[in-house]
Structure 1
Amino acid sequence: METPTSSHMNVAKRILRYLKGTIDFGSFYSSSNEFKLVGFYDSNFAGDIDDRKSTTGFVFFMGDCAITCSSKSNPLYIVNFFSPSDNRIIYEGDSAVNYQAIQLTANQTDKPLTGSIGRATYHAPLWLWDKRTGIVTDFNTHFSFVINSLNNAAYGDGMAFFMAPQGSKIPARLKHGSTLGLTSDGEELNSTSNPFVAIEFDIFRDNWDPPYDHVGIDANSMKSVKNEKWWSDIRKGKLNDAWISYNSSTKTLSVVFTGIVDNLPVEQSFDYALDLRLYLPEWVIFGFTGATGNATAIHTICSWDFTSTLEDDKMQHWTVDVCLGYGLVVLLFILIGIIGLHERNSKVKEDESFTAQLTEQEFETATGAKMMSYGELDSATNNFDEKNKLGEGGFSAVYKGFLMFKYCCWCYEKEQLLLVFEYMPNLSLDYHLFKGTTLLKWVERYKIALGLASALHYMHQGCERCVLHRDIKSSNVLLDSNFNTKLADFGLARLVNHDAKSQTLEGWTNGYEAPECHQTGKSSKMSDVYSFGVVALEIACGRRAFVQMDDGNHVRLVKWVWDHCERGNLLDAADRRLCGNFDENQMTRLMMVGLWCAHPGFSHRPSAGEALEVLKFNALPPNLPSKFPEARYAPASAGPSFSSLLSNVPTNFSTAKSLL
């Protein structure tokens, strides 16, 4: 931000309150309860997920409260297609790669299906917990899988995601599939020689099992400490998904998985309090195991991703030998005093232009975000080490940190503005539509579209002055744990009066820009609405802003959907991956609103509020032209003067840093 003033900060506070969901009363934090902050600032959600890294730990004070930042990182393993040449996966027993998937048990082509056992584990061990500190990792994993009995009514035995001590192998001389390859025969209920923790997908009833297919949590025993009936469809071999996570703060293992009811996918879940330190050593192997006995099925892993939060170089065992003489200690304190005085004088000079217009007291007494010192953030990111950088966009660099409170704050020192706010665990809309391994359900998609329309309406009409975002796209639509929408990346945003007509355009993302922006170089509320329309069509169609045709050429998604509308087969443009599992009225309405908002003629577009009312079924859908209309551009004259918001980074900024 160049030459920030109090008016800029007021808008920044409004944006933070919106992101926090506390629009009407500001942001609060508690001095007695534990909170967790995982946040990021600006710059396109740190680019691609493959680049995500982490920050170091730090402890600081806010008022009378000690705020703890835990030292964490995110090793990330993603395997969407398996290959025999991929050395990241170790195969044991009958497991092998088959058609870019992991075959855990025999597939009848190579050998009989009966009496088959196989394991597939990641090649590197996982640091599960630190014995010195007692800290346990958080982890998240997702995998898609198929268990197929080839239409046989009698099937077995199942598969599991498991963790076991480093060096663990398939137990020798197993004769039964009931252990799923986890423990030796005779130790099914007390596995002393083969410790493990597993989440089993059990399709064969043993003496210790409930009388149905189930998903359960096992700890050194094949008798689950907790299980849930699984609405499986083993005979038809339907594709399933599972999400497993561990929260080290609450010591809770959570399991979410899909089943099939009336030929439609359903989501099931349960959790259980389990201290992993009681069952497993510090270092473990992790992966999948499966087995069959006399009853058989083919067990296949189609894709897998895994993240954890402990990393070896982030939790080193430090030893300090106190052997300094008294004179050296005195000299050290003198040097620290000189350096501190120099830094303080430098800071005063650097911040003169800012403090002349804006005082800290103004922010500390406000209801919005509170101030943190640059030193606190500098220490939390190890002096903004390049190793901790998540990514870098046109206006800022992005860093990530894990803090033990959930709170938004800001910092302006050394001519650098930093914002800290909550991390969105479900990443971005762009990731789920185009990069992820799981399918975004229709209920979630429509909820996201409503949330985005509401956010845009708030920025255009709900603020004292209008905020033009100017970079609305699917990668800037972030999703919290409940798939609530948070619009991010205000690097190109502008603060304007509500009656402003258009503003000079300094940057836009190809495919989302309105035709008049390309022609005149001006942006307005209507250009934001156009971008929303493109995103709405992406949500409905599951296609990017440009669609590749059979001849290799690309056409704008807006034109592609409008062509379907002309032919009277609008629903044929719906995302085929949904297989028709959507509300046709909602799908039609979302596409119609998307086309309405992305009308080439800016004067024919609705306001964000009007679009929202149609999506809520509080207003009738629009009457669109039968043919794709020609673009009519806005006048080229500039509107009233305006202030910049989180952009126009001055040349004397080395980088515009941000903390995630």
Structure 2
Amino acid sequence: MPRKRMSGLRPILLLAHRLALLLPLCSSIVRTASGATEFDFGTLMLTSLKLLGDAHWSNGSVRLTRDLAVPYSGAGRVLYSEPVRFRREGSRSPASFSTFFSFSVINLNPSSIGAGLAFLISPDAEFVGGAGGSLGLQGESASPQRFVAVEFDTLMDVEFKDINGNHVGLDLNSLVSAEVSDLGSIDVDLKSGNVVNAWIIFDGSTGDLTVHISYSNLKPKTPILTTNVDLSLYVNDFMYVGFSGSTQGSTEIHSIEWWSFSSSFDSGTSPPPPVPNTTTLTNPSANQSPAPSLGPSGSKEKIGDKSSCHNELCKQGPGAVAGVVTASAFFLAIFAGVFIWVYSKKVKRVKKSSDTLASGVIRMPKEFTYRELKSATKCFNSNRIIGHGAFGTVYKGVLPDNGDVIAVKRCSHNCQGKAEFLSELSIIGSLRHRNLVRLQGWCHEKGEILLVYDLMPNGSLDKALFESRTPLPWHHRKKILVGVASALAYLHQECENQVIHRDVKSSNILLDEGFNARLGDFGLARQVEHDKSPDATVAAGTMGYLAPEYLLTGRASDKTDVFSFGAVVLEVACGRRPIEKDAAANGSNATGRKASNLVEWVWGLHREGRLLAAADPRLGREFEEAEMRRVLLVGLACSSPDYDARPTMRAVVQMLVGEAPVPAVPRARPSMSFSTSQLLLSLQDSMSDCNAMATTLSVSSMTSEGHSYCPAGHEIV
């Protein structure tokens, strides 16, 4: 190309480059000017929230009241630090908004209750109301406070005409609710300690306000409260949003576990569930920063300075302009052709890969798009991580189209991880049982495999046992054990092909809103035909849950799952981990010896005739001794070193519910029943696997590699 024509083309390309860089800045300015606001806990910085009164941070959540075991009266607030536009200038039409939040009310003393918490819209960012029934919304002075609130009241207060001590109400500049509904009508108890999910949606064009409440992460079809309100009468142009809570001579702790908020002035529609702009929220000043210079160091030329480009182009004359236009069109045509060709090749390759996977999981409930799940997890933000499973990380997500809360398991970026994910996908996709984690769908795009599950609001069993402030009650523990046993009986004996889980442990047992057990994480699971001998593999799982014959041969079977379940039974009944790293820190056990291996410890107590001494002391003996003895004996029977002496899971279910007696469990721990011929056959069939297993075990003994959610176990994979 002639030099003259090139010199004419350069300003156009430079201008195009600058305009391309300027577009994101312009779109950001438009978003700000529109008055829309959106954020959530996953992207907020600490400086983005104002904590007032008794409000404070605690383990990733905001607590509105103090953590005291003695009754007291106090109040606290947490607000988004920036005011939100609720009315446009010169217009009385209020903004539409929607908010989703998860909260819990935990009482350190069950006999001491009151008062509750509320979602709050307030013109004041510094005021904290009084304690007790005022919920921190209104002060003690006679002058009224302006606010809009949706209250969740745990104490019936006659002064404010409360219907009971478990209701939701809409408060408009008054603590006497304009609208109120009984939460007992939908079987939600604010004082249960369970995580409660709430959706509040207001349509500014119609004035319709709805409140949905559920233990589940799925928004109920029917709202608990529906009303029509002219919000413009109660809000200013700018208001603050957040939460307020109080106690009234009680030990209630009000925790906000998750919060997302979105507002919009789009007429006729409520805004969708929030999809925050991470960059804007983590760096609020980004939109106000000066545009960067594109010239060399020392150049004073700014984005949008058109004079230099215009003058240089005009100096070239009309011929140069025509040349520039022609060259630009030619260049763009070539670029577009190359882009379309490359893109079509990539789409075909990805589609072929996706179709191949889809043919194997055609029975899946739904195929999600990568874009959906990336948006739901805020680009797989590290703040959204809720756990680590076998070969994958689990994220909390909120689907942008309906606000449903989900758990997204993302495959590790290695061949082994993808193989395990495909195994999990193919196995769990065909399973249907009330005590298995439900798979909502999957995604296979951009070289990644993602699995979408129901999110379990009460977390995992190990967290409920060892990290909860209050001990897990015995009736919950028994229900959990029966649920897991039922799930394993289904996998072992009721499926078309027998499924061996291979990783049964407390951290893989999740708890729904009613503390029902859901067995999950099938990354290590294997399918075998019924009555077929399993193949030898490298032993995989967590020390303390692994059967001795599995460690020796690498052959997993239904009986190895039974052994793992036995360890879980003893863990639940005793309140101890199967392997305790620091035995000295926990003191001596009842036999006077240091407790390191739970199964051996319980066998020792059984041999001495003091089996009930193994019961979790935190239960305070709030259990039937006969029932506790039966559960402990079931745990010992399942964790017997004698492979043939272990019961089937179907028999275990019958034992736990009292429909069948527990088999006689010898006082002395049996020896391992594994013949020399069996051992030689296993070694002959899988010498290399056993060598790999030995290497893995050797490494495991020197390092403490385990999933973050199971700090007590050494992972063997």
TM-score, shorter chain, exceeding 0.5: yes
Q: Report the 3-state secondary structure (helix = DSSP H, G, I; strand = E; otherwise coil) of the residue aligned with 2:198.
A: strand
Q: CA deviation at 1:460?
A: 1.9
Matched, 1:628 2:628: no
CA offsets 1:475-517 (integer angstroms, 9 cap, x no match): 1112233333322112222222332145323421122111223
**Could you tell me which residue of structure 1 aligns to residue 277 of structure 2?**
313
Q: Report the 3-state secondary structure (helix = DSSP H, G, I; strand = E; otherwise coil) of the residue aligned with 2:454.
A: coil
The partner residue of 1:139 within 98, 101, 105 is 101
The partner residue of 1:159 within 92, 95, 115 is 115
**Could you tell me which residue of structure 2 aligns to residue 286 of structure 1?**
243
| Higher helix residue share | 2
Pairing of 1:369-380 with structure 2 (within 5 A): 369-372=365-368, 377=373
Cα contact 1:502–1:638 (8 A) shared by 2: no
Cα contact 1:105–1:118 (8 A) shared by 2: no
Separation in 1, partners of 2:664, 2:448: 49
Q: Report the 3-state secondary structure (helix = DSSP H, G, I; strand = E; otherwise coil) of the residue aligned with 1:138.
A: strand
Change in CA separation of 1:605 and 1:227 when aligned onto 2, cut-off 3 Å = same
**Could you tell me which residue of structure 2 aligns to residue 120 of structure 1?**
76
Cα contact 1:303–1:437 (8 A) shared by 2: no
The partner residue of 1:523 within 535, 543, 556 is 556
Give the number of the structure whose alpha-carbon radius of gyration is greater: 2
Q: In structure 2, give the amino acid aligned to 1:245.
A: N
Q: Report the 3-state secondary structure (helix = DSSP H, G, I; strand = E; otherwise coil) of the residue aligned with 2:77.
A: strand
Q: CA deviation at 1:572?
A: 3.7
Separation in 2, partners of 1:106, 1:384: 38
Q: CA deviation at 1:610?
A: 2.0
Q: CA deviation at 1:375?
A: 6.2
Change in CA separation of 1:534 and 1:159 when aligned onto 2, cut-off 3 Å = same
Q: CA deviation at 1:163?
A: 4.0
**Could you tell me which residue of structure 1 aligns to residue 53 of structure 2?**
91
User: Under a length normalisation based on structure 2, what TM-score does the superposition of the two structures give?
Assistant: 0.57
Change in CA separation of 1:420 and 1:202 when aligned onto 2, cut-off 3 Å = closer
The partner residue of 2:210 within 233, 251, 254 is 251
Separation in 2, partners of 1:600, 1:385: 44
Change in CA separation of 1:255 and 1:147 when aligned onto 2, cut-off 3 Å = farther
Separation in 2, partners of 1:540, 1:594: 9
Change in CA separation of 1:616 and 1:214 when aligned onto 2, cut-off 3 Å = closer
Pairing of 1:67-466 with structure 2 (within 5 A): 74-75=41-42, 90-91=52-53, 118-122=74-78, 125=81, 134-145=96-107, 159-164=115-120, 165=122, 167-170=125-128, 179=134, 182-184=137-139, 191-202=144-155, 205-206=158-159, 208=161, 217=169, 219=171, 220-224=173-177, 225-226=179-180, 241=193, 244-248=196-200, 251-252=210-211, 254=213, 272-273=225-226, 278=231, 283-290=240-247, 298-301=249-252, 304=255, 306-310=257-261, 313-314=277-278, 335=335, 338-346=338-346, 358=356, 360=358, 363=361, 366-372=362-368, 377=373, 392-393=388-389, 395-403=391-399, 404=401, 408-413=440-445, 416-466=448-498
Change in CA separation of 1:346 and 1:595 when aligned onto 2, cut-off 3 Å = same
Change in CA separation of 1:168 and 1:390 when aligned onto 2, cut-off 3 Å = same
Q: In structure 2, give the amino acid aligned to 1:540.
A: A
What is the total number of aligned residue pairs between the two structures?
503
Separation in 1, partners of 2:343, 2:538: 39
Separation in 1, partners of 2:367, 2:631: 41
Cα contact 1:158–1:180 (8 A) shared by 2: no
Change in CA separation of 1:128 and 1:419 when aligned onto 2, cut-off 3 Å = farther
Matched, 1:599 2:640: yes
The partner residue of 1:476 within 494, 508, 512 is 508
Q: In structure 1, give the amino acid aligned to 2:566.
A: G
Separation in 2, partners of 1:378, 1:213: 41
Q: In structure 2, give the amino acid aligned to 1:611.
A: V
Moved more, 476-485 or 592-601: 476-485
Which consecutive residues of structure 2, in runs of 5 or more, have no partner in the other structure? 1-37, 56-62, 88-93, 185-190, 202-208, 216-222, 262-273, 288-303, 305-323, 405-438, 690-717
Matched, 1:590 2:631: yes
Cα contact 1:410–1:420 (8 A) shared by 2: yes
Cα contact 1:214–1:228 (8 A) shared by 2: yes
Change in CA separation of 1:197 and 1:345 when aligned onto 2, cut-off 3 Å = closer
Cα contact 1:74–1:309 (8 A) shared by 2: yes
Separation in 1, partners of 2:68, 2:643: 59
Separation in 2, partners of 1:389, 1:579: 35
CA offsets 1:403-437 (integer angstroms, 9 cap, x no match): 35787333445654433333223322222222234
CA offsets 1:196-215 (integer angstroms, 9 cap, x no match): 443334476437456x8776
Cα contact 1:471–1:492 (8 A) shared by 2: yes
Cα contact 2:136–2:244 (8 A) shared by 1: no
The partner residue of 1:608 within 636, 639, 649 is 649
Q: CA deviation at 1:561?
A: 2.6
**Could you tell me which residue of structure 2 aligns to residue 563 of structure 1?**
604
Q: Report the 3-state secondary structure (helix = DSSP H, G, I; strand = E; otherwise coil) of the residue aligned with 2:496.
A: coil
Pairing of 1:52-71 with structure 2 (within 5 A): none
Separation in 2, partners of 1:368, 1:149: 47
CA offsets 1:590-636 (integer angstroms, 9 cap, x no match): 22222111112222111222212222333221210112333344743
User: Under a length normalisation based on structure 1, what TM-score does the superposition of the two structures give?
Assistant: 0.62
Q: In structure 1, give the amino acid aligned to 2:600.
A: K
Cα contact 1:141–1:307 (8 A) shared by 2: yes
Change in CA separation of 1:497 and 1:550 when aligned onto 2, cut-off 3 Å = same
Separation in 2, partners of 1:491, 1:221: 54
Cα contact 1:72–1:402 (8 A) shared by 2: no
Q: CA deviation at 1:216?
A: 6.2
Separation in 2, partners of 1:478, 1:123: 32
**Could you tell me which residue of structure 2 aligns to residue 617 of structure 1?**
658
* Identical columns (%): 29
Change in CA separation of 1:148 and 1:408 when aligned onto 2, cut-off 3 Å = closer
Separation in 1, partners of 2:116, 2:132: 12
**Could you tell me which residue of structure 1 aligns to residue 421 of structure 2?**
none
CA offsets 1:441-464 (integer angstroms, 9 cap, x no match): 333322221221122122222233
Q: Report the 3-state secondary structure (helix = DSSP H, G, I; strand = E; otherwise coil) of the residue aligned with 1:611.
A: helix
**Could you tell me which residue of structure 2 aligns to residue 500 of structure 1?**
533
Change in CA separation of 1:326 and 1:170 when aligned onto 2, cut-off 3 Å = farther
Q: CA deviation at 1:252?
A: 2.7
Q: Report the 3-state secondary structure (helix = DSSP H, G, I; strand = E; otherwise coil) of the residue aligned with 2:596.
A: strand
Cα contact 1:541–1:573 (8 A) shared by 2: yes
Separation in 1, partners of 2:607, 2:557: 29
CA RMSD of aligned residues (A): 5.1
Q: Report the 3-state secondary structure (helix = DSSP H, G, I; strand = E; otherwise coil) of the residue aligned with 2:250.
A: strand
Separation in 1, partners of 2:183, 2:345: 67
Q: Report the 3-state secondary structure (helix = DSSP H, G, I; strand = E; otherwise coil) of the residue aligned with 2:587.
A: coil
